[in-house]
Amino acid sequence: MPRLDDTQIEQLVSKAWEARLNAYAPYSQFHVGAALLAADGRIFTGANVENASLGLTMCAERVALGAAAAAGVRSVAAIAVAGVDDDGVVPCGACRQVLNEFSPKMLIIRCRPDGSHSVTSLNELLTSPFTGESVEKGKNPSREPVGAA
């Protein structure tokens, strides 16, 4: 698991709350911001962007990761997520899966409205991810499902 000092964590927390101000959430009113720390030290932010067709909504974490990936990032140290939930917000299942593609051991920082935060790791939140190895196993034609004729 990556190690961050208090200054790095506080910077991510601050940037996540700042990004939250730019959220576009006219339907749920659930504004979320994220700040992602790339392994090379760069920080990328994102805010959720809702759509009337709710399935097209983009979570703050994936917006931040998309910006990072577009800038060439392929490894992530941590992501801070800010939203108004007393326990702090964690990435949804889809975001966990997408984040796992880049860094399974990244730190997840849950920012709470009272200014506190807690830190966990992605692999603690996503214990059985679907991976590239899963895809390769699925390509093997010699592995027929049980009961297949």
Nearest to 48 by CA among 93, 72, 88, 83: 83
Active site residues: 61
Closest CA to 20 of 2, 34, 4: 34
If one counts every other C-beta atom within 10 angstroms of the C-beta of residue 130, the result is 12
Amino acid (1-letter code) at residue 128: S
